[in-house]
Chain A
Amino acid sequence: MQDLGIDVLFKGTNFLRLLQGLWVSVEISLISVVISILLGLLVGILMTFKNPVLRAVLKVYLEIVRIMPQMVLLFIVYFGTTRVFGWDLSAETSAIFVFCFWGTAEMGDLVRGSIKSISKIQFESSFALGMNKIQTYRYVILPQTIRRLIPLSINLITRMIKTTSLVMMIGIVEVLKVAQQIIEANRKASPNAAFGVFAVVFLLYFLVCWPISRLSVYLEKRWAL
């Protein structure tokens, strides 16, 4: 068997650079996930309202997000809107914007589903105790919604983390881009680097996503209804 090409990572600061790239990925996904969860809760609640205009708008929004590939969204925001509207968006800001736009819609849909799965009598019991709508959501509905959301949103969160690999297309040097650079730079010296370096990248993604999925299992058990 030929060598696996992992040795390149120990040359110079290569491994450190890879970790820095990973941090860029994690940072973008972390910020986006937090914003998406908060906005998603709000959008999800709005999605359960009966107002027809609101419903239509949110439906169109959700469909756009579902249909449009994230890469196209990234291109539109970073290459398109910066010209047309003349604003000065950094690649990172564009990426975070697109990921939030996407995450909020999908999270909202998950929230909507979770709220809908809570029985009507939970609302009524709460109203019957004299609670108003806001109190009902805050103390009764949302805590249950969040518990139901955890397994569903873990899937979305890990997808968001994985999809950050796309942001290199708008010039952000994240973990995958660093990996490519390392491989390119060492093409002559270690032609097998593509295997070793990408395998390490795989491992790094795993190390980021695995604790999240463990956390979800733990919370699911602790908060079992």
Chain B
Amino acid sequence: MSELLKVKNLHKEFGKNVVLKDINLSVEKGEVVVIIGPSGCGKSTFLRCLNGLEEIQGGVITVDGLPVESGKKEITKLRQKIGMVFQSYELFPHLSVIDNLILAPTKVQKRKKEEVIREATELLDRVGLLDKKDYFPRQLSGGQKQRVAIVRALLMHPEILLFDEVTAALDPEMVHEVLETMLKLAKSGSTMLIVTHEMSFAEAVADRILFFDNGEIVEEAEDVKGFFKEPKTERAKKFLRTFEYDSALYI
């Protein structure tokens, strides 16, 4: 397998507040890495650093051997290799679904419109939204918007996909449809980095788990089942217990 993403000694701070300390990570092609951890632990910031939405104060990030440096001109080239889907499904509200989808492929990658439309239609069909092709974002539910956002990222043919808590803002009954879409992607061999609070989904989809706390990778587990059964570190144990407590409380 070949290494697609490499992070070395990443350091990120907002003013005096250190958010990420000395993060090291290497992700291979086709791997699905799930990042979990308490709110404010830096996991979303970490994803944002990976495609240069945040400036970093130290360390090196490379995608396909090319350095990610925010503010540089080359970053737009690099971002085409990195798809990202955000928590608050940000489709462009003034464009219809299909126009949202074809905007970047036609304007940035200068691909032929007909070809992109054909591909977009195919992908929409696959996520069950073909009939919504000419709808505007305001006419869609949260789950539908989020699936369109995923398709929009896919159409750029990224080599790696970043998902930043994509189900966190959704109503519970919409969560499932989005997770299912992501699971299918994972099975089709996409390289993915996923930040999520959905533990059972994490367990199902991950090849590897990263547990973040306080801006550090506290635990890294390739044995995903084992991690959820019996994490090695005390902090991860404590974190997972909060979820058990939740479910115990409501049953």
Q: Which A residues form the contact surface with B (CB < 8 A)?
A: 119, 121-122, 124-132, 135, 139-140, 143-144, 147, 223-225
Contact = CB atoms under 8 A, between A and B. Distances in A.
A119 B137 CA distance: 15
A126 B88 CA distance: 14
A131 B90 contact: no
B108 interface: yes
Contact of B103 (A121, A139, A147): A139
B93 to A, nearest CB: 4
A188 B219 CA distance: 98
Nearest to B80: A130
Contacts of B93: 144, 225
B239 interface: no
A131 B108 contact: yes
Interface string B88-127: 1011111000000001100111000000000000000000
7 contacts: A121-B90, A124-B86, A129-B103, A129-B152, A130-B79, A135-B107, A224-B138
A119 B103 contact: no
B104 A130 contact: yes
Given A125-B90, A140-B92, A225-B94, A130 B76 contact: yes
What are the 3 closest A-B residue pairs judged by CB atoms, nearest first? A129-B104, A130-B80, A128-B84
Contact of A125 (B92, B94, B108): B92
Interface string B64-93: 000000000100110110111010101111
Interface residues of B, number: 27
Contacts of A139: 92, 103, 107
B156 interface: yes
Given A135-B107, A139-B103, A139-B107, A128 B51 contact: yes
B186 interface: no
Nearest to B48: A124
B161 to A, nearest CB: 11
Contact of B77 (A121, A130, A140, A147): A130
Contacts, number: 66
A124 B91 CA distance: 11
A130 B52 CA distance: 11
Contact of A122 (B53, B83, B90, B138): B90
Given A129-B103, A129-B108, A119 B80 contact: no
Contacts of B153: 128-129
A122 B77 contact: no
Nearest to A141: B92
B90 A225 contact: no
Contact of B79 (A121, A122, A127, A144): A127
A223 B136 CA distance: 11
Contacts of B156: 129-130
A125 B148 CA distance: 13
A30 B59 CA distance: 56
Contacts of A122: 90, 92
Nearest to A122: B90
A57 to B, nearest CB: 24
Given A121-B86, A139-B103, A144-B93, A131 B76 contact: yes
Given A119-B88, A128-B79, 4 more contacts: A122-B92, A130-B77, A139-B107, A225-B93
Contacts of A129: 79-80, 103-104, 108, 152-153, 156
B86 A125 contact: yes
Nearest to A147: B94
Nearest to A121: B90
Contacts of A144: 92-94
Contacts of B73: 132
B53 A124 contact: yes
B88 A121 contact: yes
